[in-house]
Amino acid sequence: MIAFHNVTKKFGSHAVLDEANFEIFPNEMVVLNGASGAGKSTVVALLMGAEKPNAGTVEVDDMIVNDMDPNTLQLYRRKIGVVYQDYKLLPNKTVFENVAFAMEVCEEPLDLINKRVPEVLDKVGLLDKQDRFPNELSGGEKQRVAIARALVHDPRLLIADEPTGNLDEANVHGIVNLFKKLHAEGATILLTTHDPFVHGLLPGRTLNVEKGKIV
């Protein structure tokens, strides 16, 4: 379970989050909705331990993220899959190699990599594109590679920060349907968006970010 307890995060004198409180339960799909700059990406950064709150606690499965030492934080991050708007693919690696790289940096054995990568590529519908490079893919296909990379460690939580921001309407539908499928298979998903169209397509509970508050 995820819980923000009275979390305040300031940048300078500006409070991006002001005593924010919310909970996300296992196997929920939750949409974090708000205008650009409202604080959605700050929530993601706090969950990943990339930022620390000025006050309050960020708790995931009874662990306080903002109290973790670097080694514990590294292990914790391996259990979370994160997808970003700009894909963050390595241009000189193939689709297979981009997904495999997430396992290689964790020093996973080669036989496990060769077994797991095709499994997740098949799940996102890209097994037939495993030898392509990112510049040979559409925007929707690039995002599917990013999702496959996020899934490769079989994470307990999948975070998607504006995952449809660079996609056209047809690809938005494809990515949203993929997240619905993953949720139906038992994934806990937190997805951020500022787009009313995307918000309207997504099931689950909505948290709105308004003036630093989560409502």
User: In angstroms, rounded to a whole number, what is the distance separating the alpha carbons of residues 30 and 28?
Assistant: 6
Q: What is the pLDDT of residue 38?
A: 86
- pLDDT score of 199: 86
CA 36 remoteness from chain centre: 17
> Residue 149: what residue type?
R
Q: pLDDT at residue 96 above 90?
A: yes
pLDDT at 167 over 90: no
Residue 159 has pLDDT above 90, yes or no: yes
Q: How far apart are CA 56 and CA 74, in angstroms?
A: 22
What is the rounded average pLDDT of the residues 169-173? Answer: 89
Q: Is the pLDDT of residue 69 over 90?
A: yes
Name the residue among 79, 17, 21, 16 with its Cα closest to residue 48. 79
Structure-token match 């989050």, residue found? 17
What backbone torsions phi and psi does residue 168 show, to the nearest 5 degrees? -80, 175
Which DSSP state fits 107? T
pLDDT of residue 203: 85
Average pLDDT over residues 201-215: 89
Rounded to two decimals, the pTM is 0.90
Confidence of residue 210 (pLDDT cuts 50, 70, 90): confident
pLDDT confidence tier of residue 42, bands split at 50, 70 and 90: very high
Which sequence spans correspond to the domains of the chain? 1-77+183-215, 80-155
Break the chain down into helix, strand, coil percent, rounded to 5: 40, 25, 35
115-139 residue pLDDT tens? 999 999 999 999 999 999 999 999 9
Q: Match 């519908």 to its residue by tokens.
A: 125
Say whether pLDDT at 104 is over 90: yes
179 to each of 43, 189, 214, how far by Cα in Å? Answer: 20, 8, 23
| Residue spans of alpha helices (H) in 8-94 | 40-48, 70-77
Mean pLDDT over residues 63-86, rounded? 92
Superfamily covering domain 1-77+183-215: P-loop containing nucleotide triphosphate hydrolases (3.40.50.300)
